[in-house]
Amino acid sequence: MLGTAEAVRVAAAEAGIERRLVELINLRVSQLNGCAYCLDVHTKAALKEGETVQRLGVLAAWRETGLYDERERAALALAEATTHPADATAQEAAYARARTVLGDEQISAVIWVAIAINAFNRVSILSKHPVRPSSVH
């Protein structure tokens, strides 16, 4: 899994998806799946990449704010559609939106990031990976 995650990060970077956006995708998918361990890991990673506490705090309601640009909104919608593929209407809308602001390689990269974190979420949830207290506030 770690090798896959690294390959996905490299592919995303090569497609022009910056690490900060990768971490937003990781966080949003982890929110949807309820994976506390991955939320902890990727919150720290997002902050390290320069993400703001405000944007992280409202990520679950990203559609309701003006804090995310069109590219980020398209990527988040596509990640959600990848996480819940049974909703064909939302999936088609997400793909259509993504096509307006992301290229084919970027769309593919966003989907792979979402698939990878979905897999990690399941491993962490089923393995009951603990979230340990942190000294960072």
Domain extent listing, the chain: 2-127
Cβ atoms of residues 18 and 28 within 8 Å:
no
Q: Which pTM does this prediction carry?
A: 0.94
Q: What is the pLDDT of residue 5?
A: 92
* Superfamily for domain range 2-127: AhpD-like (1.20.1290.10)
Cβ atoms of residues 131 and 44 within 8 Å:
no
b/e per residue 41-73 (b: at least 16 CB within 10 A): bbbebbeeeebeeebbeebeebeeeeebeebbb
pLDDT in tens, 63-110: 999 999 999 999 999 999 999 999 899 999 999 999 999 999 999 999
pLDDT-wise least confident of 39-48, 50-59, 84-93: 84-93
CA distance 52 to 120: 24
* Mean confidence (pLDDT) of the chain: 96
Percent of the chain exceeding pLDDT 90 equals 93
Q: What is the pLDDT of residue 134?
A: 86
pLDDT band at 137 (very low <50, low <70, confident <90, very high): low
The one-letter amino acid at 57: G
